[in-house]
Amino acid sequence: MTAMERSARDLFAILAIGAVACAAPEGGQSEPPRAPAAERPVPATTAAPFGTVDGTPVRLYTLTNRNGLVAKITNYGATVTELHVPDRTGRLADVVAGFENLDGYVAGTAYFGAIVGRVANRIANATFTLEGLSHALAPNDRPHHLHGGRRGWNKVLWSATPIDTTDGPALELTYVSEDGEEGYPGTVTARTVYTLTQANELKVEMQATTDATTLVNMAHHGYWNLGGHDSGTILDHELTLYADRYTPGTPMVPDGRVRPVEGTPFDFTRAKPIGRDLRQAGGTPIGYDHNFVVNGEPYRLRPVARLTDPTSGRAMTVSADRPGVQFYTGNFLDGTVTGKGATYGQYAALCLETQAFPNAVNVPAWQDQVVLRPGQTYRHVMVHAFGVEP
């Protein structure tokens, strides 16, 4: 390599690091190669039919940024169905597990790519007390309540509006959850905006307001495989979690304890293959399904995780402004689910769900993480920044 080539390479790396600096805590990421200018699609959002639910048409929206990255999002469940990003050679692949048609999402129980709520994750024994009143919820993860109940926000139709932003094409989705829906008090108006930025990020902005005191903990439930959704398991992916502590529980439901990850299978403070300590993590089925306490100030945007696939070179850095992140290794995928031409077996994809702590409403020290009152606005921002490694 000549000195001129090295200089050009170094300049390219510096520019790319600047594009993702807000989300890349260590070393940054180089920007994926772009297609030649003549071949690049014009940045746009398009819409197409995606079936019907109870006689109501459902739409599928396609967002394309100027670098050729493509995101597809349906207003059923505010769900990301596809996300195509390049590898180190510039080859695009869809890196999210999902289905090729609406029927898969209607029948599915894995929450592929959806916005989950009103309260993401588990509430112990499907009950909580708020302002002196006891509320019973559906025990859809018996005996616990999971991801908003039997018909959470992943199973409803959101209103969708494409919008233009200076950052890139975006889709705004709104949903009104009526008082008493799935046992929750208060009418909540929820809003999610997905933006596919020109810096090769998928930005997810979530908001909610209420007319009565209630609980809100929205989360994006994407399933990631950076080798491509149909490339096998994620056990060789390397993960860093910017979290020195986690919240153990019995089982999968935190009970208020916070413990250091050092010396445990839950230590991802330095990058390591996901499969290295997976069996030591325990669980039934075996794997990770745990909440980690993200380092730093809880309600400021900060680094959460960095995921890399050594084979393809793809890298994803996650930043968010929530107290915790649920790391889940697809333990319950068992090969009975197929989508987009792939069979999703155990560990076929992973989730990094930024969130309030699970069961927070039943832990006095954590309760304020999920309680929303009239006049307040719930806000949750997470950014997935994509790049490549050599």
Q: Which residues contact 190 (CB under 8 A, 6 or more apart)?
A: 115, 117, 118, 153, 174, 175, 176, 177, 206, 207, 208, 216, 218
Nearest to 33 by CA among 97, 103, 87: 87
21, two tokens = 């600096």
**3-class state of residue 354 by DSSP:** strand
Report yes or no: 250 and 224 within 8 Å, Cβ to Cβ: no
Q: Which residues contact 137 (CB under 8 A, 6 or more apart)?
A: 123, 126, 127, 128, 145, 149, 182, 183, 184
d(CA 317, CA 27): 11
State the catalytic residues.
221, 353
H-helix or E-strand spanning residue 11: helix 3-20
H-helix or E-strand spanning residue 230: none
Please name every residue paired with 340 in a beta bridge, in sequence order, or none if there are none. Answer: none
User: For 116, which DSSP code?
Assistant: E
d(CA 26, CA 10): 17
Q: What is the DSSP string of 167-210?
A: SSEEEEEEEEE-TTGGG--S-EEEEEEEEE-TTSEEEEEEEEEE
Report yes or no: 70 and 92 within 8 Å, Cβ to Cβ: yes
Dihedral sign, CA of 235, 325, 182, 80?
Answer: negative
